[in-house]
A = this chain, B = another copy of it.
């Protein structure tokens, strides 16, 4: 939980400072912004782990800022907690629809604020954690941890091997020629001899056994269907 950066967006400077003080005491890093526009700038620059956003603000209000963030690929996955003065159910619903992940009314006790923040961060950590897994045959290929599991065994493949395996496994059955593999796994304009793919395939087979990746002579490789 430590080391998380939180962006606080509020036009009331006193409140901003108060929140900053309390968050820092809890070990968070804090960024501040005084309106939506500035908030988005900060977010783009620093990619905070969470945004605390006031709804009522000059220049660009919180609602609008959040809508923009949700449309921005860079920012759309950052969790947002709304702050508002009124406990008004209608705005609450609207706020959540626009893409907020939680909603807090002012005034709020700092302990409650902190616990909400931690709750949202925890939720995001968890979902983030479980998300990139692939189950093929008897393998679990976990892209978040860069680990391949088979039963109780765990294989720690080097990056390229892992990514090659992942790419093929996520297209189970489809043949891909070496050039395509290089483009997709190594990158578009990387100059590498295509036999490099062979060597990596061999290393994967060496570790996992050769019954996963099939060779299609004259064409390329394929993850076994």
Contact = CB atoms under 8 A, between A and B. Distances in A.
Interface string A145-187: 1100000000010111000000000110111000000000000
Contacts of A219: 146, 159
Given A86-B126, A112-B127, A131-B104, A97 B138 contact: yes
| Chain A, interface residues (CB within 8 Å), range | 35 or more
Contact of A96 (B128, B130, B135, B156): B135
A105 B130 contact: yes
How many copies of the shown chain assemble into the complex?
Answer: 2
B145 A127 contact: no
Interface of A: 25, 70, 76-77, 79, 86, 89, 93-94, 96-97, 99-105, 107-109, 111-112, 115-116, 123-124, 126-128, 130-131, 133-138, 140, 144-146, 156, 158-160, 170-171, 173-175, 216-219, 222, 225
